[in-house]
Amino acid sequence: MTDIITGDPLPAPPPRRSFLRHNRAALWFMALLSLFTLVVTLLSEAVGTGLISTSLVKILGMTLCLCLVAVAMDVVWGYCGILSLGHFAFFGLGGYAVGMWLMYARAEIIIRDSLATAEIPPTEAEVADAVGSQIFGVVGSSELPALWAFAHSLPVQLAMVVLAPGLLALVFGWLAFRSRVTGVYLSILTQAMTLALSLYLFQNDSGLRGNNGLSGLQNIPGHLETPQAVIAMWFFWGSALALALGYVLFAWILSDKFGSVIRAIRDNEARVRFLGYHVESYKLFVFTLTAVISGIAGALYYPQAGIINPAEIAPIASIYLAVWVAIGGRGRLYGAVLGAAVVSLLSSWLTGGGAPDINLGFYVIEWTEWWLVLLGVGFVAVTLFFPRGIGGLFDHFAKER
Amino acid sequence: MLLEVSGVSVTFDGFRAINDLSIAIGEPELRAVIGPNGAGKTTFMDIVTGKTRPDEGRVRWTSHGIDLLKMSESAIARAGIGRKFQKPTVFEEQSVRDNLSMALKNRRDPFSVLFWRIAAADHARILELAEEIGLSNRLADRAGALSHGQKQWLEIGMLLAQDPRLLLVDEPAAGMTPSERAHTTDLLRRAARTRAVVVIEHDMEFVRRLDCRVSVLHEGSVLAEGTIDHVTRNQQVIDVYLGR
């Protein structure tokens, strides 16, 4: 290759870096995640020795989903500098979208079974009515709202897992970013969004069963006879795969110039504008993509949890998400995974009665009450003394070697 | 004319920062803009680059008469106007190479950037720019680790990487050593052979070395315009600026 004008050979471009070979953290992460999945599988009740109970497999699978939404949060906050305090709304929407199909299809199976013995075979309208009163009896209604028009269709509801959070993020982000709302004002706006959504869903006539939410989601229509141990295993694998794919997707997006631009936006967005980049488009892209991934994480989480209700998307949930990422270490994807895993597992251990109370003689520390204090103190301590979070420890080791 | 600013005024909280300013820049041209503090030098650049919207007046770009006042900052930058700020603003967390690479004249929409991979021509251009700004052996270093003068240069390099038709440079020599200043003068004069360069500067020695047409701004409008010798002999200029 020669330069046309001078005839000097052009310097060779740097060798094309294979993305994974270049990205050692991603490789390590994949290896550890595979190992973890393998160990859990081998110790599970469904496939292995049974050392790990099915309920623990579910907790671990749910934790993987929380790790995925934390990775998305890290991309939008740690890399792009948008402190969204509403990403759990997208997580919840994903859960609701898949939950509608799970509830509808299961109710339909039950209704058809019970009507099968009737002398006159039921018409489709009768089945739909019966499903309506089965699902909505609890909020004193028997009609399926229009929102449920496609609840019988798994493909449509799976599309909604991606479309509902994606469209909400697109519209919300477009309005917010084009008005140049940034910093704490944007955070407040995202809190307001998730608050409004959760308050709306709390209403009985919201069409999603008000504060009852959707339940029985652990029963998978078509596999109602399959033991929960097996279903838990499937969802655990699905969650691990989703986390792996999500991690690699984000690592790839961040690996080259796009990553450079969004980190530049985080550090000085006005300067990026004067370089000719349309900052709002980049923010909107990142905000929407992370919302979609959050929706997918939610769609995998709630069938393992078994129930979703509007309290799940209350503002506090999104604040926890930010806390996980801060504790794990912003601006590094594995930091977000560590933060979400450590904090949420610790939380279920301490609040689930697993941890022994501490008797000080004059006072007994009960972890169910003191957990939030511990979390608060931990958050303050990390912010003050380890601004790089748990992930920052890796830098420390890397330096010493 | 490449850039034509006519009758522009802007008021901040009752303070008239720019008052019926008219200024025209040709292509190629090197122009220095001087004036006391508060004369509106930086505000002039803010208006041209879309950061500040004027209350009245027109800003036309190229012979097609494109209205810059209707464009966003990023669209103005893509149209070919590059800007260097008074305080060096490079992306300190990122390498010198990444800083230059981001500024390279390539497509700027998110999807193109997402699938962008460095081509031989881009790589060659980065090396060439690094050579020109004296940072060849610092490409892999964090921009934050550079000295103040080197950051100024990196920013000038980023400006050149954009390959703009008009460069707006705000106090490029601030905080530079005499030899760095000489280098900067050369760079700007060389750039001005093929494009328009507007330099805001306080240092009269530096302006003298640029050896170009000078516009003196005072209270938001042009007080005098001409060669450096012409404007420094102007009694009004001496009264409001040089005499102090």
pLDDT higher for A395 or A168?
A: A168
Domain membership flag for residue A351: yes
- Segment A99-151, tens digit of pLDDT: 999 999 999 999 988 888 878 888 888 888 889 888 998 888 888 888 999 99
Chain A residues within 8 angstroms (CB to CB) of chain B: 1, 3, 10-14, 16, 253, 256-258, 260-261, 263-264, 267-268, 270-271, 273-279, 281-282, 285
In the 3-class helix/strand/coil scheme, how is chain B assigned residue by residue? CCEEEEEEEEEECCEEEEEEEEEEECCCEEEEEECCCCCCHHHHHHHHCCCCCCCEEEEEECCCCEEHHHCCHHHHHHHCEEEECCCCCCCCCCEHHHHHHHHCCCCCCHHHHHCCCCCHHHHHHHHHHHHHCCCHHHCCCEHHHCCHHHHHHHHHHHHHHCCCCEEEEECCCCCCCHHHHHHHHHHHHHHCCCCEEEEECCCHHHHHHHCCEEEEEECCEEEEEECHHHHHHCHHHHHHHHCC
Domain membership flag for residue B122: no
Domain count, chain A: 1
In this complex, do A276 and B162 lie within 8 Å of one another by their Cβ atoms? Answer: yes
Domain membership flag for residue B106: no
Examine the pLDDT at A380 and tell me if it is beyond 60: yes
Which residue is closest to B119 within chain A, CA to CA?
A: A13
In this complex, do B77 and A274 lie within 8 Å of one another by their Cβ atoms? Answer: yes
User: What integer pLDDT is reported at residue A12 of this predicted model?
Assistant: 57
Structural domain span for residue A219: 27-400
User: What integer pLDDT is reported at residue A281 of this predicted model?
Assistant: 96
**ipTM reported for the complex, 2 dp:** 0.90
Domain membership flag for residue B99: no
Closest approach of chain B CAs to the CA of A106, in angstroms? 41
pLDDT-based confidence at residue A10 (cuts at 50, 70, 90): low
Domain count, chain B: 1
In this complex, do A278 and B103 lie within 8 Å of one another by their Cβ atoms? Answer: no
Going from the first residue of chain B to its last (244 residues), give the mean pLDDT of each consecutive group of 10, the final group possibly shorter.
93 89 93 89 93 93 92 94 89 94 92 89 93 91 91 91 93 85 89 93 87 92 91 88 70
Domain membership flag for residue B155: no
- Look up residue B212 and give its amino acid: C
In this complex, do A258 and B124 lie within 8 Å of one another by their Cβ atoms? Answer: no
Residue among A10, A261, A275, A330 with most chain B CBs within 10 A, to mutate: A275
Examine the pLDDT at A14 and tell me if it is beyond 70: no
For residue B120, list chain A residues with Cβ-Cβ distance below 8 A. Answer: 1, 10, 12-13
Does any CB of chain A come closer than 8 Å to the CB of residue B94?
yes
In this complex, do A258 and B113 lie within 8 Å of one another by their Cβ atoms? Answer: yes
- Look at the block and give the residue holding tokens 């006519």: B6
Which residue is closest to A267 within chain B, CA to CA?
A: B91
Closest approach of chain A CAs to the CA of B210, in angstroms? 25
CATH number, position B222: 3.40.50.300
Domain membership flag for residue B134: no
Domain membership flag for residue B208: yes
Helix (H) or strand (E) holding A331: none
For residue B159, list chain A residues with Cβ-Cβ distance below 8 A. Answer: none
- Segment A164-213, tens digit of pLDDT: 999 999 999 999 999 999 999 999 999 999 999 999 999 988 889 999 99
In this complex, do A11 and B127 lie within 8 Å of one another by their Cβ atoms? Answer: yes
Residue B10 to residue A133: CA distance in whole angstroms: 66
A315-339: b or e for each residue (b if 16 or more CB lie within 10 Å)? bebbbbbbbbbbbbbbbbbbbbbbb
pLDDT higher for B37 or A234?
A: A234
For residue A256, list chain B residues with Cβ-Cβ distance below 8 A. Answer: 116-117
The shortest CB-CB distance from A1 to any of B91, B118, B120 is to B120
Residue among A265, A269, A274, A290 with most chain B CBs within 10 A, to mutate: A274
Q: CB of B99 within 8 A of CB of B120?
A: no
Q: For A315-324, what is the mean pLDDT?
A: 94
Domain membership flag for residue B159: no
Q: Mean pLDDT check: name the lowest of A255-264, A313-322, B147-156.
A: B147-156
In this complex, do B117 and A258 lie within 8 Å of one another by their Cβ atoms? Answer: no
Structural domain span for residue B60: 3-91+164-242
In this complex, do B120 and A276 lie within 8 Å of one another by their Cβ atoms? Answer: no
For residue A177, list chain B residues with Cβ-Cβ distance below 8 A. Answer: none
pLDDT-based confidence at residue A351 (cuts at 50, 70, 90): confident
